[in-house]
């Protein structure tokens, strides 16, 4: 194969791989909810994590008019949840959620589902909130940081 054909084939393969991964990620459904705001925090119904019979969503994104940024709530295991403010600690851009990874579209910082920095330029972990479970609801305590 000559150089020109090799470069063309390589470019097509790379572009196809990038498009395929985007299409596959877009097939997963993201669940958005507003929750119910009270003076202490947000209540989110646990049924928001169900997706059909025995399927469970790994996370939901809570958007509420009283919040400047959304909150991503990950189900870790059992009654353990992680609630993270989707605001990059580098320069404040709203993060994008893709599976277990949170990414800043502005400069590429990456965080895991516990809010820990995995890649800079951000150097501080995400703001997280304590989550408790009672009566089939999650309570996200916005007064505290965990």
N- to C-terminal Cα distance for the chain? 58
Q: What average pLDDT does range 55-65 have in this prediction?
A: 87
Which tens digits make up the pLDDT trace of 84-99? 999 999 988 889 998 8
What is the residue extent of each domain of the chain?
A: 1-29, 31-141
In CATH, what number does 31-141 get? 2.102.10.10
Between CA 139 and CA 71 the distance in angstroms is 12
Nearest-angstrom CA–CA distance, 43 and 133: 10
Predicted confidence at residue 120, as pLDDT, reads 86
What predicted TM-score, i.e. pTM, was given to this entire model? 0.74
| pLDDT for 20 beyond 50 | no
pLDDT band per the 50, 70, 90 thresholds, residue 24? very low
Confidence tier at 22 by pLDDT (50, 70, 90): very low
Which of residues 25 and 65 earns the better pLDDT score?
A: 65
Residue 27 pLDDT exceeds 50: no
């Amino acid at each position: 194969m000559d150089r020109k054909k090799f470069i063309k084939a390589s470019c097509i393969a790379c572009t196809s791989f990038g498009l395929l991964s985007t299409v596959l990620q877009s097939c997963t459904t993201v669940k958005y909810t507003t929750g119910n705001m009270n003076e202490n925090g947000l209540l989110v119904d646990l049924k928001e994590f169900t997706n059909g019979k025995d399927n469970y969503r790994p996370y939901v994104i809570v958007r509420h008019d009283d919040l400047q940024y959304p909150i991503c709530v990950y189900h870790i295991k059992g009654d353990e949840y992680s609630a993270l403010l989707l605001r990059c600690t580098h320069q404040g851009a709203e993060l994008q959620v893709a599976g277990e990874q949170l990414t800043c579209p502005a400069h590429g910082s990456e965080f895991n589902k516990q809010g820990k920095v995995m890649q800079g330029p951000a150097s501080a972990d995400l703001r997280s909130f304590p989550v408790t479970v009672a009566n089939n609801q999650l309570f996200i305590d916005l007064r505290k940081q965990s």
